[in-house]
A and B are shown apart, each in its own frame.
Chain A
Amino acid sequence: MVLRKIKNIGLLIAYVMSIYIFFPDNVYAMHIMEGFLPFNWAAFWWIAMIPFIIAGVRSIKKTVALHPNLKMLLGMAGAFAFVLSALKIPSVTGSCSHPTGVGLGTILFGPTAMTVLGMIVLIFQALLLAHGGITTLGANTFSMGIVGPFVSYGIYKGLKKLGAPQWLSIFMAATLGNLMTYVTTSIQLGLAFPAASGGVTAAILKFMGIFAFTQVPLAISEGLLTVMVFNILTAYSQKELQVLTAFTGKTISSIKQGVKA
């Protein structure tokens, strides 16, 4: 079992290496910088973000009202996103980027809760670190707090339904959610800056070369770290996980069985 796990991870590393060989550009990958989206697009993403924020605040309120003892776990999910967003990790493309850390909270509390927490992290970085921006907050929240978490949630649910092991579902959910965040960033920039020849598609591909490929090893790191935290939660926070099962369906049932056995 453990050997198989190691073999799988080895295969993933080989995959990353091959990506490095094919896309050796020296690139940077981050959120969209302040002022770097034309006004109309910035406004569009802000408006697109608002319904998710409202739904997120409601979902968090509901969680906290029903289960006040989950407040700490919610804070922990937010803190996890906070740490991971601060870690700019070198990538195989010769530049740095950072994980988003929203996969963990998504699996625990659902995607919209992480829209709110993700936005808080982005506001902090925009105001204090000049990283990302307030005008581009809508677009960045849409990629990191909406697309990422919804992809993670869908993949987690889907893999669970297919009967995949818990750790694999968590790993894939966090990894692909992170990757899709940066694919979304590329699409957002491509839409705003279509190329003279090739239009939107060419521009999207160009930005994807910058944003998405750097992200692959980081996405894997994020997946691994999320699995690590889940291992700890499984061992020490059974009660909380079981309460959460009540309103996210039977997503965590296999953890429960694992401990009883």
Chain B
Amino acid sequence: MKLFSKNMIILAFVALLSFFPLYIARDAEFGGADGQASEAISELNADYTPWFESFWEPPSGEVESFLFALQAAVGSGFVFYYIGYSKGKHSLNKRDQA
């Protein structure tokens, strides 16, 4: 099977795995906070108080999602730059050999 179609099938499974929870657990909150773990900690040890605060926290959900999007964009930018670069190099080599 061709590379493209093979990878598209894999990608479809990844998309399915990421979106079907939204359907299955429709009433869930899908929270991104780490609230449950800290709740569990205070259940296990009620006296525990975090002894250190983050140096800086994103002032709002918008800023936070901006930074996460930036992280993903920078990362995928480089990943796909590399893929394009090696694909170009590959086809150039093939043409030279032909």
Contact A33 B87 (CB under 8 A): no
- List B contacts of A6 (CB < 8 A): 9
Contact B6 A231 (CB under 8 A): yes
Task: Contacts A203-B44, A229-B79 known; list 14 others, CB within 8 Å.
Answer: A24-B25, A28-B35, A38-B51, A80-B79, A81-B75, A83-B75, A124-B71, A128-B58, A129-B64, A129-B68, A130-B56, A135-B52, A193-B44, A224-B14
Contact A75 B82 (CB under 8 A): yes
- Say what secondary structure dominates the interface of chain B: helix
B29, B32, B40, B64: the one contacting A26 at CB < 8 Å is B29
Contact B7 A228 (CB under 8 A): yes
In the complex, B97 has a CB within 8 A of chain A: no
Which residue of the partner chain A has the closest CB to B3? A235
Contact B7 A28 (CB under 8 A): no
Contact B44 A27 (CB under 8 A): no
Scan residues 201-238 of chain A and give those whose CB is less than 8 A from a CB of chain B. 203, 206-207, 210-211, 217-218, 220-221, 224-225, 227-229, 231-233, 235-238
User: In the complex, A2→B2 CA distance in Å?
Assistant: 12
In the complex, A50 has a CB within 8 A of chain B: no
Contact A2 B29 (CB under 8 A): no
- List A contacts of B31 (CB < 8 A): 28, 95-96
User: In the complex, A35→B68 CA distance in Å?
Assistant: 22
Contact B72 A86 (CB under 8 A): yes
A36, A79, A238: the one contacting B78 at CB < 8 Å is A79
Which residue of the partner chain A has the closest CB to B26? A94
Contact B71 A210 (CB under 8 A): no
Scan residues 113-154 of chain A and give those whose CB is less than 8 A from a CB of chain B. 124-130, 133-135
Known: A134-B55, A231-B7. Is A194-B17 also a contact (CB below 8 A)? Answer: no
Instruction: Give the Cβ gap from A78 to chain B, nearest Cβ, in Å.
Output: 8
Contact A130 B57 (CB under 8 A): yes
Instruction: Give the Cβ gap from B6 to chain A, nearest Cβ, in Å.
Output: 6
Instruction: Give the Cβ gap from A2 to chain B, nearest Cβ, in Å.
Output: 6
Scan residues 12-62 of chain B and give those whose CB is less than 8 A from a CB of chain A. 13-14, 16-22, 24-25, 27-38, 40-41, 44-45, 48, 50-58
Contact A27 B78 (CB under 8 A): no
User: In the complex, A33→B45 CA distance in Å?
Assistant: 16
Which residue of the partner chain B has the closest CB to A17? B24
